[in-house]
Amino acid sequence: MPITLNRALKSIATALAILTILAYVGYLVIYVSYAVDLFRWPFDYDQGEGFELYDAILFSQGEWPYRDSAAFPFYASNYPPLFHLLIVPLLPIFGPRLIAGRLLSFAATLVTSGTIAFVVRRNIAGPERDWMGAWFIPLISGLGYLASNYVYQIGPLCRMHMTLVMFETLAIAFVAEFEDPDHGTRNLILALAMLFCAGYTKQTAVFTVAAALSYVFLRDVKRALLAGTALALAAGALFWLINVGTQGEWWVNIIQANVNEFDYRQTLFLFGQWLRLHTLFVLLGAGYLVYELFWDRLSAYSLWFFFALGVGALSGKWGAGFGYFTTAVAAACLTSGLALGKLRSGDWMSKMEDWGPGFKRGSVRIFVSAIIPVLYLLQAPRMLHLPTSGPVFGPMSRILSVDDQLAYGKGENLAPTHCDSVSYHDAMGYTQLGHPLSPEDHVAGEKIMDYVRATEGPIFSEEAMFSILADKPVVTNPTQLLNLYNNGLLDTSEIIHHIDQQTFDLVIFRAQFYPPPVLEAIGQNYQPVDHVCMNGFTYHLLWPRRRLDSALLSPE
């Protein structure tokens, strides 16, 4: 290949790489903008956020969140404690506000992204340390994780998912180096510690535990058995202690209540969506797995990618969703970077020299270097998501012709479950997360808080933040009540007695995820007084009928 053509290819590769970096840094800017917007939002953005914060508040007061949901305040958590315990030190700084958990979760995504980039660089940067292997592919692998629609949407929420993925990624990074001649044992112990943390952040970590231990087992059966036994003993002992400390409510709420109805169609839909949004990362990750399975040794990263699909398979469970694919996204971003590194350094380039004098290893390498940014650039628009209003994102969405394709639809095409459209486009199509909050949303939140502050006693709210912001006790965790009810584990007599007595001065509904008998009792004893549109959802405010009756009888 003539030198001039090589130079031209090099220039093209550099230009394409710069374009790629701009695209993925653009996603990072969108992510940070969304996160900052959420840090200023005091109410629940996703329904479970306030409950996760409340778990942290309970821990800070020395109380367990694993309780008997049949007794007042009818509250119990269905998640392990670590994420909430990590929030506790932030409460004196931020107070009992969601920003504590949101910052933690956001920071966890940055750590995961950095770890992906570090691992890819460590594995593919050859001795020559060229820019493509030393920083371009690692950088885009890390940024690709943050550019994922799923990571973007859940990343800055006060939810435990992203902290889980951080521990999982760190665990895999450590276990991959367990045969290191100098620090092998240290790395294995750190991996086990990270797996322990992941398991006590969310139950789905069990798949990453399986991946890590399988990797050790393939290479060193004895150490795998020892490591597995140590982890099982440590995790089991703590499990038993918590169960004793909570009089068995830990087992009921963490394990028994999580056996939910499974809809395989939801799983298939989410697998399809995951593949459609992250096509390049998934195909490269899958290709790398097949390559290692048949032509090389299985790495911890490929095994993790494989086992992460198992978490995705659980996404058809009631209450599950695309968040179950965040581990698979991290694994795909990591293994895709390794696959591209392998593509650049493979022996196949040397073999091409045999094809003729035109095929020089250096020339082929430059050609591949130009192809890699093209692949990343083809992937970028598949994950497209951005706000469609504002001085920067408004014009950008118009240039990209997505300013009319809003997540909730608009006008006659507005999704029937919503009261207003949101200024946000996502390649996912309909999604309840990811959009920016408007000034009207803040006003609507304050309007609901006026109702809350006007009450004296506890309120019955489907979202915890209204109670927490008014310094009231959190009453009920609706989805957990429904989980327990569906599994025949909830006695609703006391809660229905309270509703019949109209103990609560205010009921706030959003999705009405309560057990049917509870909803029925509320329907009989409470009456709507206002409907507030906030964050695209209608919040139904209900007063006790006795209050409305007395208001009607009153001369005023």
Partner 1 sequence: MITKRQLGFFVVAVSVVGILGIVSVDILGAGNWSGFGPLQRMGIGLGLGAALVGFVLIRLGDRPA
Binding site for partner 1 (CB under 8 A): 217-221, 264, 293-294, 297-298
CB of 298 to partner 1, least distance (A): 6
CB of 299 to partner 1, least distance (A): 11
CB of 176 to partner 1, least distance (A): 15
Residue 405 one-letter amino acid: Q
Nearer to partner 1, 213 or 496 (CB): 213
The three-class DSSP label of residue 537 is: strand
CB of 283 to partner 1, least distance (A): 17
Phi, psi of 256 (to 5 degrees): -60, -40
Nearer to partner 1, 43 or 215 (CB): 215
> What would the two tokens of residue 315 be?
């996404």
Nearer to partner 1, 175 or 481 (CB): 175
Nearer to partner 1, 251 or 269 (CB): 269
Residue 325 DSSP one-character state? G
CB of 136 to partner 1, least distance (A): 31
For 74-112, the DSSP string reads -----S-SHHHHHHGGGHHHH-SSTHHHHHHHHHHHHHH
Report the C-alpha gap between 294 and 516 in whole angstroms: 53
> What would the two tokens of residue 104 be?
């933690």
Nearer to partner 1, 128 or 347 (CB): 347
CB of 288 to partner 1, least distance (A): 15
Nearer to partner 1, 130 or 220 (CB): 220
Report the C-alpha gap between 116 and 266 in whole angstroms: 29
CB of 294 to partner 1, least distance (A): 7
CB of 220 to partner 1, least distance (A): 7
CB of 286 to partner 1, least distance (A): 13
Nearer to partner 1, 40 or 297 (CB): 297
For 264-310, the DSSP string reads HHHHHHHHHHHHHHTHHHHHHHHHHHHHHHHHSPPPHHHHHHHHHHH
> What would the two tokens of residue 22 be?
């701009």
> What would the two tokens of residue 517 be?
């008998």
Report the C-alpha gap between 178 and 186 in whole angstroms: 8
Helical H runs in 157-220? Answer: 161-175, 184-199, 206-219
- Within 8 A by CB and 6+ apart from 302, the residues are 285, 288, 289, 292, 293, 335
The dihedral built from the CA positions of residue 383, 388, 394 and 398, taken in this order, carries a sign that is positive
Nearer to partner 1, 219 or 317 (CB): 219
Report the C-alpha gap between 440 and 532 in whole angstroms: 11
CB of 268 to partner 1, least distance (A): 8
Q: Hunting for tokens 């231990």 — which residue is that? A: 213
Residue 153 DSSP one-character state? H
For 532-546, the DSSP string reads EEETTEEEEEEEEHH
Nearer to partner 1, 246 or 267 (CB): 267
CB of 302 to partner 1, least distance (A): 11
CB of 349 to partner 1, least distance (A): 23
Nearer to partner 1, 223 or 510 (CB): 223
CB 530 within 8 A of CB 490: no
Nearer to partner 1, 263 or 494 (CB): 263
CB of 297 to partner 1, least distance (A): 5
Rounded to 5°, angle at Cα 297 from 295 and 298 = 110
CB 55 within 8 A of CB 29: no
Nearer to partner 1, 108 or 175 (CB): 175
3-state secondary structure 427-486: CCCCCCCCCCCCHHHHHHHHHHHHHHHCCCCCCEECCCHHHHHCCCCCCCCHHHHHHHHH
Nearer to partner 1, 293 or 378 (CB): 293
Question: Residue 470, Cβ neighbours under 10 Å: how many?
Answer: 16
Establish whether the linkage from the previous residue to 73 is cis, with ω within 30° of 0: yes
Q: How many helices and strands in the chain, by DSSP H and E?
A: 26, 6
> What would the two tokens of residue 203 be?
């139950």
